[in-house]
Amino acid sequence: MKRVVLDTNVVASACFWRGVCWQCLEAWVGGRFTALVSPALLTEYTEVFERLRQRYPDRPCVDWVAALRDDAELVFPAVKIPDAFKDLDDVVFAECAVAGEADCLVSGHKEYVQAAGDVRGIPVLSPARFLEVLNAGRS
């Protein structure tokens, strides 16, 4: 698994809490996969990060959004995929994944994104499942 789109909830969780989402971002920093972002995805990451920073002003955070802005691979989706997920706000992930020829999309959003199973053949994995697959590839 080399090329990966991370849903906003994965990035936002990693910014403010340790755990499986943090481990996903650590794996990216460790060079275990290429993170793919689009301009729309970076905008969403930033908006959610800022909202959470205001909501939790005393909570220490890591600005994974800045790291992704600086070091992830930027793709420019040319194809709209309005039917990818039930929630239209989530289509930016599908469009980025397709444009970047992702190997998977990682999302903690069970109700809509994970429920889709895949987007045009690109599997949608939970953060925990993604780490299992990533770690299985190490052995």
pLDDT digits (tens, 9 = 90+) for 59-118: 999 999 999 999 999 999 987 776 655 665 678 888 999 999 999 999 886 655 445 566
- Strand order across the beta sheet in which 118-119 lies: 73-74, 34-37, 3-6, 104-106, 122-125, 118-119
Q: Which fold has domain 3-136?
A: Rossmann fold (3.40.50)
**By C-alpha distance, which of 15, 7, 24 is closest to 111?**
7
Tens-digit pLDDT profile for residues 122-139 = 998 999 999 999 998 765
Residue 134: alpha-carbon gap to chain centroid: 15
User: Which single residue is written with the structure tokens 């199973």?
Assistant: 117
